[in-house]
């Protein structure tokens, strides 16, 4: 018997106000923060420090259909802090901004 596979999906969005007064709209996805349920995520992601940590963890583990729901400039801003494999970093960078494809040869292998 086949088991159904449930793909990771965005369930909602939360707006976080940053210290500089700007706002960022983040997708709510179960599984990025392992032990937080949807309600907890809504509260957590309103805090700038948690929003940053959530974004960095998303860059590490989330599939592209989830990452594309984040603001591209927000992901690009946190890409270096994510400490991800060079191949994943190159792929994420390429998907975020294809004009950066020329920088791929500068990434360590």
Domain ranges of the chain: 10-106
- Predicted confidence (pLDDT) per residue in 88-105, tens digit: 999 998 888 766 555 544
- Predicted confidence (pLDDT) per residue in 1-57, tens digit: 677 766 778 889 999 999 999 999 999 998 898 888 888 999 999 999 999 999 999
Residue 1's SS3 state is coil
Size of the chain in residues: 109
Cβ pair 10, 66 in contact under 8 A: yes
């Amino acid at each position: 018997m086949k088991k159904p596979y449930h793909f990771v999906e965005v369930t909602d969005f939360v707006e976080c106000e940053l210290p500089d007064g700007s706002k960022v709209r983040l997708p709510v996805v179960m599984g990025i923060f392992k032990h937080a349920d949807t309600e907890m995520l809504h509260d957590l992601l309103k805090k700038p420090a948690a929003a940053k940590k959530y974004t960095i963890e998303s860059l590490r583990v989330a599939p592209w259909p989830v990452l594309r729901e984040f603001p591209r400039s927000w992901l690009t801003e946190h890409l270096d802090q994510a400490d991800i494999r060079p191949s994943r970093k190159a792929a994420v960078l390429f998907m975020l901004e294809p004009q950066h494809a020329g920088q791929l040869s500068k990434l360590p292998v």
